[in-house]
Amino acid sequence: MELEFRRVDVEKELRRLRDFDRRVFPKADLFPASFWRAAEVYWMLVDGKRVGCCALQEELETTGVLAISSSGILPAWQGIGLGRVMKAWQIAYARRHGYRRVVTETRESNVRMIRLNESFGFKIVGTTPGCYYDPDEAAVEMELMLC
């Protein structure tokens, strides 16, 4: 199996990104086009096939902080360790680019993502009630200190 992360040309692939988003996440969690245009986005390719996607953004309020704004693997490819590979790649990306801290958030019910993040050393730093809707749910905020 050949694995690759390739930067997305968002303007050229916006429709494909939004379609991917719809295939991975509930309707209430879909991002608008403006989100994708503001992020640095990467496809995760397995043998040339797009099976995952992640969006990264530099935190504007605090220098040296990378936000993992979206991570998704197509349902047919979940449960075989690709999420772990993607998380390792995201952390390596942050280190290569000199970030001191990585932040992310997820639905409180997304226990698999919370546990995955914790396995890499992320700590829960807070929750935001009502951050998600349909259903109404808190966001779990997590961070990983790199230095």
Written as six digits, the tokens of 110 are: 């997304």
Single pTM value for the model: 0.94
Cβ neighbours of residue 36 under 8 Å, at least 6 residues apart? Answer: 10, 14, 17, 18, 55
Place of tokens 């914790």: 118
pLDDT digits (tens, 9 = 90+) for 84-99: 999 999 999 999 999 9
| Confidence (pLDDT) at 29 | 86
How many whole angstroms separate alpha carbon 140 and alpha carbon 103? 11
Written as six digits, the tokens of 117 are: 């993040």
Looking at residue 61, the DSSP 8-state letter turns out to be S
- Read off the pLDDT of each residue in 13-31 and give the average, rounded to a whole number: 92
Asked if 57 and 94 touch (Cβ cutoff 8 Å), the reply is no
Confidence band of 62 (pLDDT split at 50, 70, 90): confident
